[in-house]
């Protein structure tokens, strides 16, 4: 295991929340759009953050990984107690999902 500090789900949540409120710019890195992927991973830039999200049949399911500008990372594990997506309110979740469909 690396001695680099890991990102917490809460830190990633804050970035996703800001993106959902469109206070942070987001652009798609993955070639395929959200609707083209339908079931699989989509990677986006939110500012200088690189975030990979899982699209489960057109619905935002979980955050697979996140890399911060300072090199720290978050990786999804089914053993983790929380996922950044679970920390979003229903409104933030809907807004983020809609943003992912539009980029």
- pLDDT tens across the length of the chain (103 residues): 444 689 999 999 999 999 998 877 899 999 999 999 999 999 999 999 999 999 999 999 999 999 999 999 999 876 666 899 999 999 999 999 999 999 9
Phi-psi region of 79 (alpha: psi -120 to 50; beta: other; left: phi over 0): alpha
Predicted TM-score (pTM) of this structure = 0.90
Q: Where are the domains of the chain?
A: 9-95
CA distance 29 to 45: 7
């Amino acid at each position: 295991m690396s001695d680099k500090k890991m990102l917490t789900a809460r830190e990633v949540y804050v970035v996703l929340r800001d993106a959902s409120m469109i206070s942070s710019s987001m652009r798609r890195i993955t070639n395929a759009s959200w609707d083209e992927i339908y079931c699989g991973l989509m990677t986006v830039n939110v500012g200088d953050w690189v975030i990979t999200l899982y699209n489960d049949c057109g619905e935002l399911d979980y955050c697979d990984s996140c890399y911060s500008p300072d090199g720290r990372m978050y990786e999804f594990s089914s053993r983790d107690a929380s996922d950044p997506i679970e920390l979003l309110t229903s409104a933030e979740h809907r807004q983020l999902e809609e943003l992912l469909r539009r980029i």
